[in-house]
Amino acid sequence: MGPGGKMVGTKAWVSFFLVLEVTSVLGRQMLLTQSVRRVQPGKRTSSTFAKPADPLDGSLRRNTQGIWSPWSPWSKCSAACGHAGVQTRSRTCLAESVSLCDEVAEEGRLCMDQSCTACDLTCPMGQVNADCDACMCQDFVLHGAVSLPGGAPASGATVYLLTKTPKLLTQTDSSGRFRVPGLCPDGKSILKITKTKFAPIKLTVPKTRLKAATIKAEFIRAETPYIVMNPETKARKAGQSVSLCCKATGKPRPDKFFWYHNNTLLDPSLYKHESKLVLRNLRRDQAGAYFCKAQSDAGAAKSHVAQLTVIAPDEAPCNPIPESYLIQLPHDCFQNATNSFYYDVGHCPVKTCAGQQDNGIRCRDAVENCCGISKTEEREIQCSGYTLPTKVAKECSCQRCTETRSIVRGRVSAADNGEPMRFGHVYLGNNRVSMTGYKGTFTLHVPQDTERLVLTFVDRMQKFVNTTKVLPFNKKGSAVFHEIKMLRRKEPITLEAMETNIIPLGDVAGEDPVAELEIPSKSFYRQNGEPYTGRVEASVTFVDPRNISTATAAQSDLNFINDEGDTFPLRTYGMFSVDFRDEATSESLNVGKVKVHLDSTQVKMPEHVSMMKLWSLNPDTGLWEEESDFKFESQRRNKREDRTFLVGNMEIRERRLFNLDVPESRRCFIKVRAYRSERFLPSEQIQGVVVSAINLEPRAGFSSNPRAWGRFDSVLTGPNGACVPAFCDDQSPDAYSAYVLASLAGEELEAVESAPKFNPNAIGVPQPYLNKLKYRRTDHEDPQIKKTAFQISMAKPRPNSAEESNGPIYAFENLQACEDAPPSAAHFRFYQIEGDRYDYNTVPFNEFDPMSWTEDYLAWWPKPMEFRACYIKVKIVGSQEVNVRSRNMGGTHRQTVGKLYGIRDVKSTRDRDQPNVSSACLEFKCSGMLYDQDRVDRTLVKIIPQGSCRRTSVNPMLHEYLVNHLPLAVNNDTSAYTMLAPLDPLGHNYGIYTVTDQDPRTAKEIALGRCFDGTSDGSSRVMKSNVGVALTFNCVERQVGRQSAFQYLESTPARPSPASTVSGRAPSRRQRASRGGQRQWLGGVASPGFPGVAQQPLSN
């Protein structure tokens, strides 16, 4: 281009619009004066025209025979204001035979658009364009350079000028550069630059007086909208107001929100909503399910469904009548009336209710109200030789919800041999929220507004592949334990950046690789975009689904969001993690133009071949996002290659984890419940159990392949069990199978047996559906295998089959029916092996559900967000293991003195190293503040070994502590021990173990581990009877007919005697006098205010 080239280019660009506009309008007008286009259905026609019809008639031929549909309305005039244009309309032939459709299906007419209005746009520089929506400066040129993340040039990006209608200006060249003449550098013109898979860039043309300017920009990867705040379930009375809120992130940020009520789109013009929907003066018909959809240029996402309950102003917000709730009684408290060891204490189902609200309309209610127990009745249960007090629910009402906190704990270890990931980091988004310990354990508190817990585990030692997991947690509070399995990093190999490199994916013995990575030469580049030509240290780790042991190490939860915003599952054929580094500096390298060759013979279901896609993981959301499609290779890679390959293209930049997956729509849910015992009582269901399902990959012909898997899912059991997602098929029952297992706090629960006894009543599924599902516990054929899982065929229920309509398999669209199914409906079962421990609380409380806590002075746990567990270690000398009981009563508080908090039973555990010795770690109620936080209660605890036992020693440090902290309990009975529980958290030197935690089960688990170990900071499941003991009892059995001296004394008529000492003998007068009268106590004299508690006398 010679001198003045810029000016010439500018003139040509500006005049282009004017010439095109005039030519197009004149051309249309000339054509229309000659003919009108005719289209006949069923025939491919050229653009021929017929003469216009009678202008008064407006149609080519009257439709007198009813063969044609009515004409559509005339289209909008195509011309700009003040110019001649064309309008068209069309109709459809309704005849069954095409031969009858011999008339035109479309016709047109000339039109003149309305007169032009005066342009009110003023330009501080340049001139207004013909469309009156932008300013043009012929002598200015804008230069631009656009790059990808990492610095590589962004070729093929499209540049628009944002006006009323975006105007296409140009595209970037192979260097990522563009040139646009004619814009005005007024600081107001805005450009929009777009490229597939990247968030659009908006730039303002800089303000300058120069004739040229340069702008630079870098794309960021587009991210589908992601919901970070879901609308909450709420309850209101008619006439009140409510707000439902929805918040989403993404790149670009979502700018449109749509709200749905019972799956019907709400009119924005009526409700004037954006991300917040406000409903005033509520009506009963506005109750139902609400959700929002957030939308941006990158896609859409739907929120969770929130239920809005609207009741009449005079209607009770809760059912006042409690539901039945059975508690188990001690082993010596059989009830003849019910012929069982159970008693119905009732309970109020915890649900949101319409309580008192202030006038503020908030996303989150200032006070959350729940149905709970408002009135109890004291009753006494008759047991063998004693009565047991309890409090029975009599009335439910709407009250403030119990405040709880959600906790996630876990252990991170290798998938192959269980080696812990020591001192690794745990990230929530970009924030480090926890760290693993020496044994790989971690703990974190889930932030209150968390909707989806996405954690990334990073190994600082670089032994393991960084792993992203989506972990279910209990939003109602309590702790959930997860076992996190990680794959070992593959040993790095050395690549030459200037050569083509092939890396196989999959190394199962005797099998071909699933796929191969092909990295062409000159494809590596540094983070700043500079090409890299040196040696590359490469580590590529592949999760091979042909090996079922890798299923638990799967990354994320294998879900993606489709274009409509719905979450759909993926079925994996393998995922791989990549790490490429400069061999000399260890700088992370990016790679462009990578090809993935997938062996189509590894895709066992033919219909999956055409749907196969390449995905990458978004570590912030835990969702997979599409990278590219797979296509058949146009030519074989070598002449002797018999296999057919699919090829997909990708670039490796900020994301390093990829997946070979197929979207799968054939989904179902499996209903599973977990119980405390094999009695399978609804009241003994366990919440917080992690139920996992491994979807097994079928072979060709729909026969199950037990070695391969396609998906891994985990959910938590709630008050009504859990619905676990899995793939299913309604045509062939054997098309899909699932392997289901359950764990609680790291302990695997047992599934119901399938051999030698096959009992449908115990399994929970009636015949004949059970046979169709082919239920098999893992030990069905080999009794040596663990009994902690079962496998079923995922036979989708037939809609017209009565015996298949009641569970345990539910079609995907029937999720609500699965979640609401009563305990009598079919379901699969897991259960805990009944241990040797038993807990009884006077005020019933379910430790798996903190929301069941009740405000009561006799509540075992006085604070619902702080649980303090106390244990005492009792040593038993004797050939038999014995049951030991703690009876816990109010000791010093005026509201609870002499009243029972609860009892705890436990069986002693045999010491492995000492014959005739066992020990028991026995829980007792800690002393401390009660629920009103008014004053302290020293719990009166009585330790009672059951059987013929005699106390032989008391830990001297514990005795000294109790003596120094009055009042002191009476201990005349040598077959038991009574104390006022210490207020201080003592430790193993006293034989007392105290742990405070925000979850009761965790506090007890930690304290129990320390008690077994006999230390204040260790943990063991092996009983160590020689350390950390508080009490010792001798329970040696005597020969029949031979009476011991102890038995002789017990059978002798009782005589007044002073209270026993720690060794079981009365202290001498000299010993009592040596205390100087400061801490004296009278044998057998109890305080009038505190039964069983001896106090310091008023005088000597």
Question: With 90 as the cut, is the pLDDT of residue 964 above it?
Answer: yes
Report the pLDDT value the prediction gives residue 635, as an integer from 0 to 100: 61
271 vs 676: which has the higher pLDDT = 676
Contact 1081, 1096 (CB under 8 A): yes
Any idea which residue has 């500006």 for tokens?
14
* CA gap 207, 903 in Å, rounded: 80
What percent of the chain is modeled with pLDDT above 90? 38
Give SS3 for 243.
strand
pLDDT tens figures, 169-202: 999 998 899 999 989 988 888 999 999 888 899 9
Give SS3 for 145.
strand
Residue 636 banded pLDDT, cuts 50, 70, 90: low
Report the pLDDT value the prediction gives residue 191, as an integer from 0 to 100: 93
- For the residues 661-680, what does the mean pLDDT come to? 87
Cα of first residue to Cα of last residue in the chain, in angstroms, is 119
Give SS3 for 33.
helix
pLDDT tens figures, 233-267: 999 999 999 999 999 999 889 988 999 999 999 88
pLDDT tens figures, 741-763: 999 888 889 999 988 888 999 99
Per-residue CA distances from 53 to 35, 73, 79 (Å):
10, 17, 22
Question: With 70 as the cut, is the pLDDT of residue 806 above it?
Answer: yes
Question: Which residues fall within 8 angstroms of residue 493, CB to CB, at 6 or more apart?
Answer: 503, 537, 538, 539
Element (H, E) at 968: strand 968-969
634 vs 1074: which has the higher pLDDT = 634
* CA gap 425, 656 in Å, rounded: 18
Q: Exposed, middle or buried, 585 (CB in 10 Å: 0-12/13-18/19+)?
A: exposed
Give SS3 for 948.
coil
* CA gap 924, 391 in Å, rounded: 20
Question: With 50 as the cut, is the pLDDT of residue 1052 above it?
Answer: no
Residue 637 banded pLDDT, cuts 50, 70, 90: low
Contact 181, 16 (CB under 8 A): no
Report the pLDDT value the prediction gives residue 642, as an integer from 0 to 100: 67
Residue 862 banded pLDDT, cuts 50, 70, 90: confident
Report the pLDDT value the prediction gives residue 603, as an integer from 0 to 100: 80
**CA angle in degrees (0–180, nearest 5) for 342-347-351:** 145
Report the pLDDT value the prediction gives residue 149, as an integer from 0 to 100: 82
* CA gap 295, 224 in Å, rounded: 9
pLDDT tens figures, 1076-1089: 333 333 233 333 33
CA 227 to chain centre: 13
Q: Which of 1032, 1002, 1021, 1038 is nearest to 909 (CA)?
A: 1021
- For the residues 68-80, what does the mean pLDDT come to? 81
What is the dihedral angle through the alpha carbons of 100, 105, 107, 113, rounded to the nearest 10 degrees?
Answer: 160
Question: With 50 as the cut, is the pLDDT of residue 981 above it?
Answer: yes
Report the pLDDT value the prediction gives residue 478, as an integer from 0 to 100: 80
733 vs 797: which has the higher pLDDT = 797
- For the residues 586-595, what does the mean pLDDT come to? 88
Contact 943, 874 (CB under 8 A): yes
Question: With 90 as the cut, is the pLDDT of residue 273 above it?
Answer: no
Per-residue CA distances from 398 to 242, 312, 315, 320, 377 (Å):
18, 15, 12, 9, 19
Report the pLDDT value the prediction gives residue 1084, as an integer from 0 to 100: 34
Q: Exposed, middle or buried, 79 (CB in 10 Å: 0-12/13-18/19+)?
A: buried
Residue 802 banded pLDDT, cuts 50, 70, 90: confident
pLDDT tens figures, 119-175: 777 888 888 887 788 888 988 999 999 998 877 888 999 999 988 888 899 999 988
Per-residue CA distances from 917 to 116, 408, 1035 (Å):
104, 38, 10
* CA gap 462, 459 in Å, rounded: 5
* CA gap 903, 944 in Å, rounded: 11
Question: With 80 as the cut, is the pLDDT of residue 2 above it?
Answer: no
Question: With 60 as the cut, is the pLDDT of residue 1046 above it?
Answer: no
Residue 534 banded pLDDT, cuts 50, 70, 90: very high
- For the residues 71-76, what does the mean pLDDT come to? 85
Per-residue CA distances from 164 to 160, 189, 233, 305 (Å):
12, 12, 40, 36
Residue 272 carries which side chain, given as an amino acid letter? K
- Average pLDDT value for the chain: 81
- Please give the DSSP secondary-structure letter assigned to residue 718: B
